[in-house]
Amino acid sequence: MTPMAPRRRRAALLALMVSIVAGACGSTAPSGSGAPTVPPVEASIAAPTPLQSLTTQLSGAAAALRGALEPEGFRLELVNRAFRTSEPPELSAAPRAVFQIDVGDPNAGYVTVYEFPDAASAATAGAALGRHLGSGFGQTNYALDAQFWVSQVGGTIIFTWWSCERSDDPARTERAFNLVSSVGQPIPVAR
């Protein structure tokens, strides 16, 4: 057996690596072609659709939020589209309602309210969210100056955040954030 020239050896190694990666990634070939199929990436990471009709617990949390916001001239509206914040696995399957406060910025003022069967499971999930947001991984989707608020109201967890750097109206957005921060039992976010 004769040794391969370095150029041919590199080409053979590259071809082997490409075939390994292609095999590991699967194929999106149509069914019946003999090749395995995988769902599109978007399907596997789709954001959960928020609940469109509020349960008793979610209504209670929303009422508490409105009670803090409305006297100061803010509206809290239910969002009717899929929305996901950076969250740990403990919250990924939790029923949720997503609201938006009218802060004059279509990309700000979001408040997510997660629902759990009871106060104890909400407290456990809230602590996990606080740890997650305090971790480097949990902060990757947020501006460096982001401030987070996590609290518990009965069997629900309330989460919101704001960034002066990313806000169209920092004073209004911060005021709304501070009002939301007055609702519920605070859960620490260690940074």
pLDDT at 14: 47
Output Rg (C-alpha) for the chain, integer angstroms.
23
Range among 11-25, 33-47, 100-114 rated most confident: 100-114
Q: What is the dihedral of CA 191, 74, 95, 181, to 10 degrees?
A: 30
* Residue 6 in this model has a pLDDT that exceeds 70: no
The residue extents of the domains of the chain are: 6-43, 47-186
* Residue 149 in this model has a pLDDT that exceeds 50: yes
More confidently predicted of 52 and 111: 111
* Residue 22 in this model has a pLDDT that exceeds 90: no
Runs of H (alpha helix) within 71-118: 89-92
**What confidence tier does 139 reach under pLDDT thresholds 50, 70, 90?**
confident
Positive or negative CA dihedral for 78, 148, 178, 125? positive
The mean pLDDT value of the chain amounts to 79
- Phi/psi for 18 (5° steps) reads -60, -40
